[in-house]
Amino acid sequence: MIDETYTTDEAKGNDWQLWLGDSCERMGEIEADSVGLSVQSPPFVSLFTFSDSIRDLSNNHSADVFHEQYGYIIRELLRVTMPGRLACVHCTQLSRTKSSFGYVGTHDFRGDVIRDYESAGWIYHGEVCVWKDPQAQAIRTKAQGLMFTTKNKDSAMSRPAYADYVLLFRKPGDNPVPVKTDVTNDEWIQWASPIWFDYGHDETLGSERHVCPVWMDIKQGDVLNARLAKDSDDERHISPLQLDLIARCIRLWSNRGELVFDPFGGIGSTVYEAVKLGRRGLSIELKKTYWATSVRILRELDGQMHESMLF
């Protein structure tokens, strides 16, 4: 089947490039060993369907098809990444519903992604967990396992909220350019600790209780304005990654001036943060409305940064 609506385009500005097209094809245009860091949030199988295109990774009829298609991107990402450098992959676990699977449960999508990357030759380097508000998640997803009514009626059917994860994968080989981060030692202690949260002063326990997973402090609403990218044909909402999460990855695992890449560009969140932090940014986005919005946002950023240099 030929996708007659498929088009390509490019836009660029100060330290950024935004490509319109299919990452499975267009990543072949990127030079080998040129990407210092990648930060991405791939579609979660078909949890959100972003377009009707047969090229769209979110538009598939089975998980097997999704992982086969995603594998092309993972292998190309290995080729274009510098040796010894990282890929940061945002994901979450997925619900199994009775209407689709005949039972209510959870699917280990996080584990699938790890296996996909290891199969392609990446080294599983580590991960961080990102806290999510269970009440907000219950309201947004209508998950019965999170509802107060389920807990009170039959708590055997209640379950914890799904966290987000940032999975870290490293390309084999020696890193030719060591990363000299501006992250302070105090920041590193906070971000690297598997159990951290500041509850404030407690007379018995002191000023802090270290009882919660890392990265409790990601602001869930700190995203680029997704409403700008919507059009009348959208069936599902676009879900941009939080800017402070992206910034944290970039500060930790890349140098100023290096290329930061996102194969699922969306409305340009990764490139936006890369440019703000003194890196170069490149993304590829399949959907034209999202790509056009990312171009507008990055051009506005160019103007803001130019004005700031004048004063």
- Residue listed under structure tokens 């089947």: 1
> Most confidently modeled of 46-50, 171-175, 194-198?
171-175
258-298 pLDDT tens trace: 999 999 999 999 999 999 999 999 999 999 998 999 999 99
Confidence (pLDDT) at 44: 63
Average pLDDT of the chain to the nearest whole number = 83
76-124 pLDDT tens trace: 999 999 999 999 999 988 877 777 778 778 888 899 999 999 999 999 9
Report how far residue 263's alpha carbon sits from residue 24's, in angstroms, rounded to the nearest whole number.
9
Confidence (pLDDT) at 157: 81
Element (H, E) at 272: helix 269-276
* Adjacent-strand bridge partners of 90: 166
Structure tokens at 15: 């330290």
Element (H, E) at 84: strand 81-92
The yes-or-no verdict on residue 311 having pLDDT over 90 is no
Contacts of 189 (CB under 8 A, 6+ apart): none
Q: Are strands 94-96 and 9-13 parallel, antiparallel or unpaired?
A: unpaired
- Backbone φ and ψ of 238, nearest 5°: -80, 145
Buried/exposed code over 4-31 (b: 16+ C-beta within 10 A; e: otherwise):
eeeeeeebebebbbbbbbbbbebbeebe
| 8 Å CB contact between 41 and 273 | no
> What is the pLDDT averaged over residues 124-146?
81
Sorted by where each begins, the domain ranges of the chain are 13-179+218-310
Identify the CATH number of the domain defined by range 13-179+218-310: 3.40.50.150
The yes-or-no verdict on residue 51 having pLDDT over 70 is no
Report how far residue 130's alpha carbon sits from residue 40's, in angstroms, rounded to the nearest whole number.
15
The yes-or-no verdict on residue 126 having pLDDT over 60 is yes
144-187 pLDDT tens trace: 877 888 888 888 888 877 788 999 999 999 999 999 999 999 99
User: Using CA of residue 142, residue 146, residue 149, residue 155, what is the dihedral sign?
Assistant: positive
